[in-house]
Structure 1
Amino acid sequence: MGMQRGVAWFWVLVCAVALGLAAVWGLPAVKRGDADPVGAWVGLAGLMVAGWSGWMSWRALRHQERDAVAMAGLLARAVLQGESRARAQLLGQDSTTIDVRFGARPATTRNAAGAAEEGRLSEVASYYQRLRPGRLVITGGPGAGKTVLAVELILALLENRKPEDPVPVRLSLTSWTTLPASPRGVGRVAANRDPGVAAQAVRAWICRHLVDTYAGISPTTAAALMDAGLILPVLDGLDEMAAEDTPGYGSPARQALSVLNAFQQGRSKAPMVLTCRSEQYEALAAVQVWAQDAARIEITQVSHAQVRQFVHERVESTARWECLLDALDRAPSSALVRALSTPWRLTMAVTTYEQRDAATGEYLREPEDLLTPALGTDHAVRDHLLGLFLQDAITRRRAPRGGTYAPGQVRAWLGVLATYLRSNTLTGRTVAGRPLSGTDLVPHELWPLIGTRRPRMVEAALVAVTLSGVCTLGMWVSDWGFASAPVFVVLILPVFIALLRGNGHHWIQAWPERPRIGPRQLRAPQAQRRTAVLLAFVPLVGLGYPLLVKVQPGMALGISFCLLFGFLVWLVARPGGSVDTLDIMDSPRTAVRAELIAALLFGLPVGVLYGAMVRPVFGLLAGAAIGLLCGLGGTGTRYIALLVCTRRGRHALPWRLRRFLHWATEAGLLRVAGTAYQFRHRELQDWLAAAPPTTPDDTPCPGQTGRSPRSSFTAG
């Protein structure tokens, strides 16, 4: 299969090179006046043959993708790589885990068969494989380790996976923005959805996640994987869909659970793994809604023996910790024991109290400091550990290019983001029918943080200024001068606008789309039709503008072919098109880098050709401007508008926001979930949102421009 795919790509490149050579060879002849009309028609016929050959090669590539079993193998390797990295982030870049125990909590009826009474983290894969059907609900208190247990299950299943086994894929339930709502005025019967409707809702959501998260998976491939039953959804955070601690019958969590109950695979319920806090899950069970035909387990608190074992395995000098461990044994009901009874807080305590001075190697603090009377309550221990955790993370991880982020800056910026997420959770805020997430940080979707109108107005202004500047400069260098303004307005400007609109720029719609043109996107029929329209516009630009500067028609035809060649090079060379391996779009930085490269591959050929025929300066400026706008798409320009609007004030964020979020992930303050960032733990997010405003009183590191403190957040 790899050989056939390589041949297909070879023919696509041959077609592109042939177009380029024809254009380069033909331009000198046109300039000398030696162009042969018959030869031109022959060349056009060859172009049609080359286009047909390229189309057949592309169809071959799409056909190869339909081998679902082979693609599932590639997906399994990509998921294994991504979840291994996620595990390291959750454990603080350490492989030592607490072998937490869990017990079965069966529902009153409709339970999965094969569930044992108890189990532990190291045996979770075998526990799950005995279930019939394979539906598992993981519950526990805050910080109990639900996500870690789910990740351990994913890794264990992948390490022993057979080719026909489904691939476990973790999804955040808060990203399910297309969840169908129950019809108003209809009672409980409406909640038991038609299995076909439920299957379509779940299938569409998972397919979109696969396409957005794994570069190399097309919508056709994602649908084939779902239809073949080769995807095991691991759904994380049912409790995070609800704003209240006790979600009711009308909550999004209940609606999601009802749809998942109606989601079937063949004659039985579709396999899945679900995580939820115990309090919220029991509130749903109180209104007679739970995961049907599933086994529910609940993670128990960390025992004294497990605390001692974890400390001995994790720390470098156990003697330093004996005083604290002995005190915990003597007072088993103290606030400190309760605070350290969850893996999250115990990991924080060990991490922060094991930090050493980089110059002398001395420990910065002693574990016995936790025994001070000031830490006599659960909240005091929590605030103490979270403060040290944030401080150590900033100290340990240097900012990009060797700089340092000021602690006040980090606290203020993270506080803005955490307060925004908390506001979304408490208010259930929606924008244009899409609920705003209370956990996910997707940079180009953060613009509602400053309101729903201002960023869209700024985006429209940026695009308008760019297009106006390009047209003004074009009129200035043309032989007709500014008298050519009507032609620009009627011919050139609409073409540029259509090109931008076709690649994701929608200034009226609330939620812009990402760039639509590229090898990954062209695997969908809708994108193929859109590309055909754009390919018709590109020669129009090549023919229209040179006429304004009195270039011969033959020369304009050659320029059109060169533009078409540059466009085809962009389509073939744009990153993310390989299906031999699946690259994880584990950070929005990856997507932005691909979009910028695409913009340069598209804009620079346009600029060079225009510059060669008219004036170099204008060509480069016009090509770069249009290429960047087109390559960034609507999401890129909306993100730039967000940065412009958050320079100062109570919503101030760093100018290099993506770089800061990536640094926070490397520092252990955030984690990656698909194409979104999330706080390392919900407790850290809530603590930052509830903390009083801080003032970044330290000097910013080089290249950072955040200058303003955070104050209370007001939804825009």
Structure 2
Amino acid sequence: MRRGNRHTRLALWGLGLAVAIPVVGALLWTARTLGDGKLGAGDQAGVLGFGAAAVGVLLGVASLVVAWLGYRVDRRESATATGTAAIADAFALAVRDEWEAEARLRRLNDPYALPVSWTAADEELVEPWADLIARSDAREASVTGPADLSGRDDGIGDLFQHRLPIRRLVVLGEPGSGKSMLLVRLLLDLCARRSSGDPVPVLFSLSVWDPAADDLIPWLEQQLCTHYPALAAERDGSTRARALLEHRLVLPLLDGFDEMAPAAQAVALDAINRALPVGHPFVLSSRTAEYRRALTPHSGVPVRLNGAAAIVLEPLGSDTAAAYLARDAGGIHSASAARWSPVLARLGTHSPVGEALDTPLTLFLARTIYNPRPGDGADDLPDPARLCNERDFPDADAVRTHLFEAYVPRPRPRPLLRAGKRTCRATPGWRPGRAARSHLEPGRRARGRRSVHAHPRGRPLPFEGCRSRRASRYRTASLQRRVFGPCRCQ
């Protein structure tokens, strides 16, 4: 490309000189001849006509050059847009494959996705509904009021695509209520609906963003390059990640707003407004209380996210939780489901186990620990009825801590050779909280996996299922909060 550009510049200079030298010579001759004053009126008209013809030639050639350059620029922009769209298509396949594998690995849809429902958030958390409708186009303004935002389960994709005045959404909820799980569902739904050239939904954790130090777009670029190394390759002087962002081919799903430093949250809202204009869709998730506080900082002007509607996740009902645990155990009439009877009787009460098993996170942990899988015997597993023992678990936090510790397997002893003997010791630094975050890290099992998709020029475009070591540390520290909610154990 660079060699071709150099040859083109040389050709243009040669053409310019070939035209300019005779034309300048003709103009100088015209001026000198007319300056002698020895020509009659008829001869002067002929000389002037010759000079005018020379100027016409110069202008005509210049017009041709300008038109040709414009044509080349249009072709280059078209080729760049086409190439960037092809990169986005390959990137979308990698993102979809990664999160589908992660959902299977974590059994997020086994036996079925835990039901999650939502309603419109309080009006003071968003811009007035009339303002949202006024700023939307006719195609998108298909809802009559905030009540139309209510929904559940797999309706999140339809909500985002068709029932928002503007495709900008805030997802609020209590700790462990399923916000991050809902974002994963939305990501997979948008990937399934996506057509060629559409934006690629990408999940970002805001917990590692400092809005005072980094503008949002450069930070998104850095995150993309870190976690998807193929996007760090340069294309026409910038990274592929930057090209995707500039062409609005990345749909940011910004998770964990509440995990940012409180002083940075209002600054972050303003930075998002400046970096993502109203025509740029995005999703942001947060705990409700932290988001409410960010809207009214102690100093400065209150900030709202421009053009964004908001929903809040509703608490799980005891019937929903009971049906989920029983069905995962093999059905309400199965022997393994009968083991849950003491626990199911306490769901929805103020008992420690009833208060603990009230979020998607804790239900996920409980069913994983206590429900047998094919090939397992119910007698080989711990009895879930022990969760009802208030001497062992006097409060809900004790139940939650137990679930985290039981979910994460103890580290395998490492064999050491010492004085000719093989001894064992556990991995140092093990703590339930740290182990939970490490064990729940997405992509850990996929680190040997490579996904190769076609590059628009026929070369392979790799998107690693694994990430760099830096990405590994980041995702290790953030998944417990990002997909399954906060880890309360220490």
Q: What range describes the TM-score normalised by the shorter chain of this pair?
A: 0.5 to 0.7
Which structure 2 segments of 5+ residues have no match?
A: 2-75, 134-142, 416-422, 443-451
Task: For 2:347 and 2:486, locate their aligned partners in 1 and report how far apart those are by CA, in whole Å.
Answer: 30
2:311 corresponds to which of 272, 297, 314? 297
Shift of 1:269: 5.0
> Residues 176 and 486 of structure 2 are in contact (CA less than 8 Å); yes or no, is this contact kept in structure 1?
no
Judged with a 3 Å threshold, the aligned counterparts in structure 2 of structure 1 residues 325 and 341 are, in CA distance, closer, same or farther, namely farther
Cα deviation, 1:518-540, whole Å, max 9, x if unaligned, reads: xxxxxxxxxxxxxxxxxxxxxxx
Structure 1 residues 155 and 576 mapped into 2: Cα distance closer, same or farther (>3 Å)?
closer
Query: What is residue 320 of structure 2 aligned with on the other side?
Result: 306
- 2:200 counterpart residue number: 167
Distance change in 2, residues 1:205/1:230 (3 Å):
same
What is the alpha-carbon distance in structure 1 between the residues aligned to residue 465 and residue 408 of structure 2? 23
C-alpha distance in 2, partners of 1:154/1:362? 39
Q: Which residue of 2 aligns with 1:261?
A: 273
Match of residue 409 from structure 1: 427
Partner of 2:217: 203
Which position in structure 2 is the counterpart of 1:315? 329
Aligned residues: 366
Matches within 5 A, 1:559-598: 580=459, 582-588=461-467, 591=468
- Report if aligned partners of 1:135, 1:295 keep a CA contact under 8 Å in 2: yes
Q: Is residue 127–residue 308 contact of structure 2 (8 Å, CA) maintained in 1?
A: yes
User: Which of the residues 123, 129, 132 maps onto 2:155?
Assistant: 123
Aligned runs of 1:307-386 on 2, under 5 Å? 307-316=321-330, 318-322=334-338, 324-325=340-341, 328-329=344-345, 332-333=348-349, 334-354=351-371, 362-374=379-391, 375-386=393-404
Letter paired with 2:158: S
Among 197, 220, 229, which residue is 1:215 paired with?
229
How far off is 1:677 after superposition? 2.5
Contact 2:339 2:385 in 1 (8 A): yes
Partner residue in 2 for 1:146? 179
The residue identity in structure 2 corresponding to 1:308 is A
For the residue of structure 2 that corresponds to 1:138, the secondary structure is strand
Structure 2 distance, partners of 1:203, 1:332, is 44
Give the superposition deviation at 1:141: 1.1
Counterpart position of 1:282: 292
Residue 42 of structure 2 aligns with which residue?
A: none
Residue 300 of structure 1: CA displacement?
1.3
C-alpha root-mean-square deviation of aligned residues, in Å?
4.2
Mapped partners of 2:374, 2:244: distance in 1:
51
- Mapped partners of 1:213, 1:304: distance in 2: 39
Judged with a 3 Å threshold, the aligned counterparts in structure 2 of structure 1 residues 86 and 360 are, in CA distance, closer, same or farther, namely closer
- Aligned 1:669-680 pairs, distance under 5 A: 676-678=475-477, 680=479
Answer whether contact 1:174 1:240 (CA < 8 A) is retained.
Answer: yes
| Counterpart contact for 1:587–1:676, Cα < 8 Å | no
User: Comparing both structures, which one devotes a greater share of its residues to strand?
Assistant: 2
TM-superposed deviation, 1:66: 6.2
> So what's the TM-score if we normalise by structure 2?
0.64
The answer on 1:107 being equivalent to 2:123 is: yes
Question: Residue by residue, what CA displacement relative to the aligned partner does 1:551-597 show, whole Å, maximum 9, x if unpaired?
Answer: xxxxxxxxxxxxxxxxxxxxxxxx99977554334434xx47xxxxx
Q: Deviations over 1:361-391 (max 9, x none)?
A: 7322112222212224111211221221123
* Residue number in structure 1 paired with 2:252: 233
Structure 1 171/95 Cα, relative in aligned 2: closer, same or farther at 3 Å?
A: farther
Contact kept in structure 2, 1:66 and 1:220, CA below 8 Å: no
Offset, 1:171: 1.0
Greater helix fraction, Structure 1 or Structure 2: 1
**Structure 1 residue matching 2:408: 3-state secondary structure:** helix
What SS does the aligned partner of 1:274 have?
A: strand
Residue by residue over 1:31-71, the C-alpha shift from the partner in whole angstroms, topping out at 9 and shown as x without a partner, is xxxxxxxxxxxxxxxxxxxxxxxxxxxxx9xx779622211
Aligned equivalents of 1:370, 1:96: Cα separation in 2 = 24
* Contact map agreement 1:356 1:362 (CA 8 A) in 2: no
- For residue 678 of structure 1, report the CA deviation from its aligned partner: 3.0
Give yes or no for contact 1:145–1:342 (8 Å, CA) kept in 2: yes
**What amino acid maps onto 2:361 in structure 1?**
W
Q: Match for 1:122: what amino acid?
A: D
CA-CA distance at 1:205 after TM superposition: 1.8
SS class of match (2:305): coil
Shift of 1:412: 2.0
8 Å CA contact 2:111–2:327 kept in 1: the answer is: no
Query: Offset of 1:331 from its aligned partner?
Result: 6.2
Residue ranges of structure 1 left out of the alignment (5+ in a row): 5-59, 182-199, 422-438, 442-574, 593-634, 636-671, 691-716
